[in-house]
């Protein structure tokens, strides 16, 4: 009787256990809960990201071309991409569907080549990996660290690898992981957005033409509607634009145009100013070997001063600079060019703790000026974004600039000014430059109430117009814009394009999406020297010791059970 009762109890316990296990499995399949215990909240999505994913109306299909044989660093990047996509999938209610693809998983070379060309045409940037083994051998492999997102028939390419030459490979991979959430959710937002913002390049004051800003226009057109046009003193002509870009004007602004821009800002408009206060003709430098730097008034000093910034008519020289090719052949000989540093082309250092400039490469500039902020502007926050190096100096116009300066450069001790600010972000409520001024001539017969204090808005002022200018290759039939930020002599890619894109995105961003770029993950690197010296010890600890521990534990369990059950027999 006792045995039958015991058996019945065991069967009931087994059935209860099975029922509980099934219930737990069912509940856990419908309820997802995760606790992020990392100090930097590595696995937590921002509120903006969650909002966008929650509002998705349809599925997003993602193809990630980061699969196959790769070095350890890229495997870590792949794992981070997968973790982020899993978070996206769960937060969106399984509307994010993804797959990893090896772009080289083909039998024939022709198929591999065709796939590479297809991915490159779609905008995925390949990178060559040089993997060194322990014996000193080097193998080379090409990877496409990026993805293609598809939503409702629309497609967008996302390159996820940061490639900053100033950082190590490990730092670049860590920066890539830091930027994953922003790059991916920005693409999702642009694909699923009901409205597309309008931005405009200003014309009519000698600004850069459409070919000189062709590359950045092409990049911006992936996210926004991009126009170009003249104000012509027409009030409210800018109202439909989220951001106005003023790229290197050379002619004075009329008071009527200034009034239109001012009232656009008062209504909450955002402006990216890229200005040169000193005129330098680069074509004269190339053809004649010398040129002049002259003060160029644009009639914007009072307006910018009222907003809280002043562009100084000074030319910066910097020991941290890009190069230009110089003909070193003697007279009568065939031209022979050699690259030399040119102190008038500083390489600017981005501020690394702001969403606009975080993890950017150096910024290439030409004949830049400096700027200052006005302290007595209440309600306006100011943040410098770009700086010169710690070995800089300034010269005042009028000044003669000659290639002969390469032979006799200034003494190093003369570069005694450090970290001159070149770009600044202004945020807050601005006061109109036309406050308490007669404005009837600009309004005409319109019934318009002049706004003297703006709503909260923002602008970025850069003391160099060439930061946004790309080189142009001119042929007999057409002009071809070259990539912005590419040095045509060294093929080095600088951070100009990313800076302009981030600046425009930040100005337009109203849901704090750009703040995701401030996310910082700690780089915890192993000591490679110590690993090499102590590899036997650590292999012993990680491989042999666990086995020994399990054996000892098993022996102790057997002895314990033997002693326990033998004692009852006695």
Which domain CATH number covers 382? 3.40.50
Q: Are residues 165 and 256 in the same domain?
A: no
Mean pLDDT of 291-309: 94
- Asked whether the predicted pLDDT for residue 95 surpasses 80, the reply is yes
State in Å, rounded, how far the first CA of the chain is from the last one. 28
Residue 568 falls inside a structural domain:
no
What distance lies between CA 38 and its chain's CA centroid? Answer: 24
Q: Is residue 549 part of a domain?
A: no
Contact (Cβ atoms closer than 8 angstroms) between residue 369 and residue 311: yes
User: Mean of the per-residue pLDDT values for the chain?
Assistant: 86
Rounded-to-integer distance, Cα 124 and Cα 121, Å: 7
42 belongs to a structural domain: no
Token pair in block for residue 210:
């459409």
Q: Measured between alpha carbons, how far is 273 from 203 in angstroms, rounded to an integer? A: 13
Percent of the chain whose predicted confidence (pLDDT) is above 70: 90
Residue that is last in its domain, among 510, 533, 557: 510
Task: Report CA-CA distances (Å) from 189 to 85, 273, 380, 516.
Answer: 15, 26, 29, 14
3-class SS at 328? coil
Q: Provide the token pair at 162.
A: 């940061």
Pair 97, 159 in one domain:
yes
**Per-residue CA distances from 243 to 200, 214, 234, 501 (Å):** 7, 18, 17, 12
pLDDT for 253 equals: 96
Do 171 and 217 sit in the same domain of this protein? no
pLDDT tens sequence across 517-568: 766 666 566 667 777 777 888 778 888 888 888 899 888 888 887 777 675 5
Q: Is residue 526 part of a domain?
A: no
- Say yes or no: 329 and 374 in one domain: yes
Listed in sequence order, the DSSP H helices in 31-145 are 47-54, 72-91, 109-121
Average pLDDT over residues 7-33: 76
DSSP 237-260: TTTT-SEEEEE---SPPPHHHHHH
**Whole-number Å distance between alpha carbons of 128 and 140:** 7
Residue 162 falls within a domain, yes or no? yes
- Domain ends where: 458, 492, 510? 510
For residue 474, what are the domain limits? Answer: 197-510
Q: What is the mean pLDDT of residues 392-408?
A: 91
Report helix, strand or coil for 341: strand
Instruction: Tell which of 191, 219, 246 closes a domain.
Output: 191
Beta bridge partners of 146: 159
Number of domains in the chain: 2
CB 89 within 8 A of CB 53: no
Residue 570 pLDDT level (bands cut at 50, 70, 90): very low
**Does 335 lie in the same domain as 248?**
yes
User: How far apart are the C-alpha atoms of 318 and 343, rounded to whole Å?
Assistant: 5
Question: Is the same domain home to 128 and 239?
Answer: no
Are 75 and 144 part of one and the same domain? yes
Range of lowest pLDDT (219-223, 447-451, 516-520): 516-520
Structure tokens at 504: 């425009």
Instruction: Report the distance separating Cα 343 and Cα 411, nearest Å.
Output: 12
Same domain flag for 168 and 287:
no
C-beta of residue 349 within 8 angstroms of C-beta of residue 389: yes
């Amino acid at each position: 009787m006792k045995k039958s009762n015991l058996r019945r109890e065991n069967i009931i316990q087994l059935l209860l256990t099975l029922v509980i296990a099934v219930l737990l499995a069912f509940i856990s399949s419908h309820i997802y809960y995760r606790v992020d215990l990392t100090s930097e909240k590595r696995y937590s999505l921002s509120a903006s990201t969650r909002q966008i994913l929650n509002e998705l109306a349809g599925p997003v299909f993602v193809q990630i071309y980061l699969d196959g044989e790769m070095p350890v660093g890229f495997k870590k990047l792949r794992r981070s991409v997968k973790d982020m996509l899993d978070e996206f999938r769960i937060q969106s209610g399984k509307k994010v569907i993804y797959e990893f693809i090896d772009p080289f998983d083909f039998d024939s070379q022709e198929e591999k080549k065709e796939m590479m060309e297809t991915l490159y045409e779609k905008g995925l940037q390949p990178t060559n990996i040089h993997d060194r083994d322990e014996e000193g051998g080097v193998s080379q492999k090409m990877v496409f660290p990026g993805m293609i997102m598809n939503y409702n028939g629309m497609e967008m390419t996302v390159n996820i690898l940061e490639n900053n030459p100033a950082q190590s490979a490990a730092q670049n991979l860590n920066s890539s992981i830091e930027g994953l959430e922003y790059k991916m959710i920005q693409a999702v937002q642009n694909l699923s957005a009901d409205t597309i913002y309008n931005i405009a390049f200003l014309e009519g004051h000698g600004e850069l033409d459409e070919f000189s800003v062709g590359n950045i226009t092409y990049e911006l057109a992936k996210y926004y509607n991009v126009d170009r046009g003249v104000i012509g003193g027409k009030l409210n002509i800018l109202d439909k634009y989220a951001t106005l870009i003023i790229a290197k004007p050379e002619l004075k602004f009329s008071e009527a145009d200034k009034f239109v821009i001012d009232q656009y800002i008062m209504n909450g408009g955002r402006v990216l100013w890229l200005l040169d206060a000193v005129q330098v003709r680069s074509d004269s430098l190339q053809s004649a070997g010398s040129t002049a730097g002259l003060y160029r008034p644009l009639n914007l000093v009072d307006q910018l001063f009222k907003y809280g910034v002043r562009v100084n008519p000074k030319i910066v020289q910097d020991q941290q600079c890009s190069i230009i090719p110089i003909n070193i052949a003697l007279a009568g000989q065939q031209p022979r060019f050699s690259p030399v540093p040119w102190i008038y082309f500083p390489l600017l250092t981005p501020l690394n703790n702001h969403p606009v400039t975080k993890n950017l490469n150096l910024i290439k500039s030409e004949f830049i000026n400096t700027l200052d902020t006005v302290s007595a502007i209440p309600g306006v926050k100011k943040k410098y974004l770009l700086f010169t190096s710690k070995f800089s100096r300034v010269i005042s116009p009028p000044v003669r600039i000659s290639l002969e300066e390469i032979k006799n450069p200034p003494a190093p001790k003369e570069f005694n000014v450090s970290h001159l600010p070149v770009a600044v972000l202004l945020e807050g409520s601005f006061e109109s430059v036309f406050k308490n001024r007669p404005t009837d001539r600009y309004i005409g017969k319109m019934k318009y109430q002049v706004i003297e204090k703006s709503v909260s808005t923002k602008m970025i002022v850069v003391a160099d117009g060439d930061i946004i200018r790309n080189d142009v290759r001119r042929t007999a039939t057409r002009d071809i814009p070259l990539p912005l930020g590419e040095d045509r002599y060294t093929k080095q890619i600088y951070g100009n394009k990313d800076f302009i894109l981030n600046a425009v995105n930040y100005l337009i961003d109203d849901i704090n999406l750009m703040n995701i770029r401030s996310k910082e993950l700690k780089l915890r690197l192993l000591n490679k020297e110590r690993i090499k010296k102590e590899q036997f010890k650590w292999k012993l600890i990680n491989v042999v010791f666990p086995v020994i521990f399990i054996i000892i534990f098993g022996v102790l369990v057997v002895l314990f059970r033997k002693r326990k059950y033998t004692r009852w027999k006695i």
